[in-house]
């Protein structure tokens, strides 16, 4: 069993009459990339700021590597790298000076700084910008520089709040590649993003937050399966397309069928057992099935279902 | 010992390029100009004037220079420190500092050191101008050293006030205005209070006959009270008329000379310096508390 790097216990944050985080219980295991999903104002940033020790909770506790954040904040900060959803850069500093400044703030000895800065710049692909002023960098470069800053003290746990926000497709791909590289280095990452498709590609687990409550958590597949009672099938036939459609429409679990050029899209209520029944029926009726592919529920559809409040479970 | 990273960064960025050099040159030129104008208006350069060799005029020139520098300290230091934390907040870099292993107390100290470093740079750069008075005698190196120490302590206090209000208020402008108002009250408030107290007691039987301790009790928080120690009695020049300080200074010096025991050594600048140290420590403590994110509930 892996170590739990982050654990929140009934974490609650109230701003006057607004409940930003409501008894949130969450666990992130070592080496996980945990996607934190929620609409604007759902409580993602507030939760991340509390975990980073930047905000005091109204009640509840946060433990990072077993250390209580509110009791030993400085000790916890040695283990956390935090990248907020804004740049926070000094325009009058050069790239290497910027990183050296934060190395100093993290208490790293001067003789280690230069090597450290060089290796980080290489990781975030900014070596060629070492002596450039920060204000001359593009948005994507600034974002990568901020990621390098959050890694300066080699933390085991990273909190990344919307790291791909406002980036163009190329910069997003670059950021995704760097995050994958960090995961292979053994970092545990808590990441929030609105680009759910990308999150589903890189995350090992997700947590969906709605109105301050964690409504679902687990691996992307687990959450999808748990929440989704309907699915889609893509069936390819070599011939007898019309006959196949007729057969499919006779099955009560099938709610809709559309076909074109040998490809049949099917909306099904049910899961694996139902899919097996459908395939068996088609084969028994002599339909030449070339491929039979259940489509996974997208994170978007799960997110939409959960945040509508229809199927949400309290955790 | 490692240099505070905030101080290091600030010195690196502010002293890069020509801006700081030009600022220092302008400041020294301004002081020299003031000195020149004073001597010129006093007819000192006229070889036929008997005042040409009057060394007392140099003392008045010294009074003018140190008053100018004292005023500058109250204008420049709050301008730097009252925005020190709030500007980090506006630039969205405060969170990035607070998430590091550097404690809030060290961040506050770094910001104070930045303003003191800039002020001391200007003060030290102006020493050759003040040094002109050495030609005429009457003021020694010890006086200048004590003056610099007093300025340092006052700058520490003023900077602590600025950082404190910068920590409390989110907006730059609110922090600046509050700092200046607070410093105004601390500087002139005790004098106003003491004056009212004296006027009320003067009407009573026996009148108002203060001793040195009364002045200390009433005026100790005011940096102007400490500054009086360095103000040499006027000898008729313009320097003597600066806010009527000369009369107050003469009376305080007289009463101090009459004191006995430990009070004899409690010069105004020492009393005020002690106040500056204690209040600065308290302000730093409260600023650190206000800045500590885990303690902060907003």
Do A217 and A236 sit in the same domain of this protein? no
Nearest of B287, B28, B267 to residue B149 by alpha carbon:
B267
Distance CA A272, CA A255 (A): 16
Range of the domain at A144: 4-225
Is A149–B91 a contact, with Cβ atoms under 8 angstroms apart?
no
In a domain, A309, yes or no: no
Distance CA A88, CA A106 (A): 16
The confidence score (pLDDT) of residue A310 equals 42
Beta strands A4-15 and A18-29 are: antiparallel
Give B127: exposed, middle or buried? Use CB within 10 Å, 0-12, 13-18, 19+. exposed
- Residues of chain A with pLDDT > 90, as a percent, come to 37
Query: Could you give the number of structural domains in chain B?
Result: 1
* A158: phi then psi, degrees, rounded to nearest 5: -115, 135
Single out the residue in A200, A225, A250 at which a domain terminates.
Answer: A225
For the ranges A33-47, B128-142, B179-193, the lowest mean pLDDT is seen at: B128-142
In a domain, A304, yes or no: no
Mean of pLDDT values over B9-29: 88
Beta strands A157-161 and A80-83 are: parallel
Instruction: State which residue of chain A sits closest to B95, comparing Cα positions.
Output: A54
pLDDT reading at B239 higher than 50: no
| Pick among B100, B106, B113 to test the A interface (most A CBs inside 10 A) | B100
In a domain, A124, yes or no: yes
Instruction: State which residue of chain A sits closest to B14, comparing Cα positions.
Output: A92
Average per-residue pLDDT in chain B?
84
In a domain, A311, yes or no: no
Q: How confident is the model at residue A96 (pLDDT cuts 50, 70, 90)?
A: very high
For residue range A192-216, what is the model confidence (pLDDT) as tens digits? 987 777 777 888 898 988 888 888 8
Is A52–B93 a contact, with Cβ atoms under 8 angstroms apart?
no
What is the value of ipTM here, to two decimals?
0.82
| Pick among A105, A134, A160 to test the B interface (most B CBs inside 10 A) | A105
Is A54–B8 a contact, with Cβ atoms under 8 angstroms apart?
no
Do A216 and A74 sit in the same domain of this protein? yes
Please report where in the chains the tokens 């459609």 appear, as a residue. Answer: A245
Q: Residue A94 pairs with which residues in a beta bridge? A: A133
Do A116 and A144 sit in the same domain of this protein? yes
Q: How confident is the model at residue B298 (pLDDT cuts 50, 70, 90)?
A: very low
Taking the alpha carbons at both ends of chain A, their separation in whole angstroms is 21
Q: How confident is the model at residue A226 (pLDDT cuts 50, 70, 90)?
A: low
The confidence score (pLDDT) of residue A314 equals 36
Do A22 and A69 sit in the same domain of this protein? yes
Instruction: State which residue of chain A sits closest to B294, comparing Cα positions.
Output: A56
Instruction: State which residue of chain B sits closest to A85, comparing Cα positions.
Output: B92
Structure-token pair, residue A75 = 């000790």
A202 contact B CB<8A:
no
Q: Residue A205 pairs with which residues in a beta bridge? A: A34
The confidence score (pLDDT) of residue B144 equals 85
The confidence score (pLDDT) of residue A315 equals 35
| Chain B residues 74-103 within an 8 A CB cutoff of chain A | 91-93, 95-103
Do A244 and A193 sit in the same domain of this protein? no
In a domain, B44, yes or no: yes
A18 contact B CB<8A:
no
In a domain, B14, yes or no: no
Secondary structure letter of residue A31 according to DSSP: T
The confidence score (pLDDT) of residue A152 equals 94
Q: What is the DSSP string of chain B?
A: -PPPHHHHHHHHHHSSSSHHHHHHHHHHHHHHHHHHHHHHHTTTT-TTSGGGG-THHHHHHHHHHHHHHHHHHHHHHHHHHTTHHHHHHHTT-HHHHHTSSS-HHHHHHHHHHHHHHHHHHHHHHTHHHHGGGGGG-S--HHHHHHHHHHHHHHHHHHHHHHHHHHHH-SSHHHHHHHHHHHHHHHHHHHHHHHHHHHHHHHTSTT-----HHHHHHHHTT-HHHHHGGG-PPP-SSGGGGGGGHHHHHHHHHHHHHH--GGGGG--HHHHHHHHHHHHHHHHHHHHHHHH-TTT---
Distance from CA of A50 to the nearest CA of B (A): 8
For residue A176, give Cα distances in angstroms to A31, A165, A168, A181.
Answer: 16, 12, 12, 9
Higher-confidence residue of B218 and B278: namely: B278
For residue range B181-221, what is the model confidence (pLDDT) as tens digits? 999 999 999 999 988 988 888 888 777 788 888 888 888 99
pLDDT reading at B126 higher than 80: yes
Structure-token pair, residue A130 = 């070492």
The confidence score (pLDDT) of residue B237 equals 45
∠ at Cα A109 (A107, A114), nearest 5°?
115
Do A140 and A236 sit in the same domain of this protein? no
pLDDT reading at B236 higher than 50: no
| Residues 6+ positions from A62 with CB-CB distance below 8 Å | A6, A7, A8, A9, A11, A50, A51, A68, A69, A70
What are the chain B neighbours of A87 within 8 Å (beta carbons)?
92
Higher-confidence residue of A156 and B136: namely: A156
A86 contact B CB<8A:
yes
Distance from CA of A220 to the nearest CA of B (A): 30
The confidence score (pLDDT) of residue A191 equals 94
Do A139 and A192 sit in the same domain of this protein? yes
For residue B158, give Cα distances in angstroms to A153, B30, B281.
Answer: 35, 23, 12
Query: Could you give the number of structural domains in chain A?
Result: 2
């Amino acid at each position: 069993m892996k170590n739990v790097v982050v654990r929140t216990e009934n974490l609650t944050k109230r701003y006057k009459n607004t409940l930003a985080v409501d008894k949130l219980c969450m666990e992130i295991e070592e080496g996980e990339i945990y996607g934190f999903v929620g609409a604007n104002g759902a409580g993602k940033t507030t939760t991340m700021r509390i975990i980073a020790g930047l905000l005091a909770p109204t009640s509840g506790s946060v433990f990072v590597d077993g250390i209580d954040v509110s009791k030993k904040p400085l000790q916890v900060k040695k283990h956390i790298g935090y990248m907020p959803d804004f740049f926070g850069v000094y325009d009058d500093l050069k790239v290497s000076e910027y990183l050296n400044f934060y190395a100093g703030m993290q208490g790293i000895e001067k003789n280690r700084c230069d090597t450290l800065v060089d290796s980080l710049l290489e990781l975030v692909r900014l070596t060629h910008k070492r002596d450039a002023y920060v204000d001359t960098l593009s948005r994507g470069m600034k974002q990568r520089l901020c990621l390098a800053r959050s890694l300066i003290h080699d933390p085991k746990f990273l909190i990344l709040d919307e790291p791909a926000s406002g980036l163009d497709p190329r910069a997003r791909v670059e950021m995704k590649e760097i995050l994958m590289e960090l995961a292979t280095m053994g970092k545990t990452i808590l990441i929030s993003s609105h680009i759910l498709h990308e999150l589903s590609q890189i995350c090992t687990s997700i947590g969906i937050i709605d109105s301050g409550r964690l409504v679902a958590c687990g691996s992307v597949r687990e959450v999808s399966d748990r929440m989704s009672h309907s699915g889609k099938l893509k069936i390819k036939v070599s011939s007898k397309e019309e006959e196949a459609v007729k057969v499919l429409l006779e099955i009560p679990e099938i709610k809709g069928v559309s076909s074109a050029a040998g490809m049949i899209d099917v909306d099904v209520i049910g899961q694996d057992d139902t899919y097996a029944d459908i395939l068996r029926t088609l084969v028994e009726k002599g339909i030449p099935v070339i491929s039979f592919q259940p489509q996974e529920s997208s994170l978007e559809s799960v997110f939409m279902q959960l945040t509508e409040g229809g199927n949400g479970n309290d955790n | 010992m490692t240099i505070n990273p905030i101080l290091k960064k600030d010195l690196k960025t502010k002293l890069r390029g020509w801006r700081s050099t030009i600022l220092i040159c302008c400041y020294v030129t301004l002081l020299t100009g003031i000195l020149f104008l004073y001597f010129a208006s006093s007819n000192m350069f006229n070889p036929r004037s008997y005042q040409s060799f009057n060394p007392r005029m140099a003392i008045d020139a010294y009074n003018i220079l140190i008053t100018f520098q004292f005023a500058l300290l109250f204008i420049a230091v709050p301008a730097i420190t009252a925005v020190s934390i709030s500007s980090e907040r506006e630039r969205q870099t405060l969170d990035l500092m607070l998430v590091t292993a550097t404690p809030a107390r060290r961040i506050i100290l770094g910001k104070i050191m930045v303003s003191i470093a800039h002020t001391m740079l200007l003060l030290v750069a102006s020493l050759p101008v003040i040094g002109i008075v050495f030609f005429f005698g009457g003021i020694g190196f010890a006086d200048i050293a004590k003056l610099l120490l007093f300025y340092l302590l006052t700058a520490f206090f003023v900077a602590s006030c600025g950082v404190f209000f910068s920590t409390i208020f989110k907006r730059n402008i609110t922090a600046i205005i509050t700092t200046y108002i607070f410093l105004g009250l601390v500087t002139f408030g005790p004098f106003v209070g003491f004056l009212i107290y004296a006027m009320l007691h003067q009407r009573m039987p026996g009148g108002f006959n203060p001793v040195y301790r009364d002045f200390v009790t009433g005026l100790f928080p005011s940096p102007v009270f400490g500054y009086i120690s360095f103000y040499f009695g006027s000898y008729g020049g313009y320097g003597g008329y600066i806010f009527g300080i000369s009369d107050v200074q003469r009376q305080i010096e007289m009463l101090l000379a009459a004191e006995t025991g430990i009070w004899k050594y409690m010069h105004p600048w020492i009393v005020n310096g002690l106040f500056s140290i204690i209040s600065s420590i308290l302000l730093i403590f409260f600023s650190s508390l206000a800045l500590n994110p885990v303690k902060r509930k907003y």
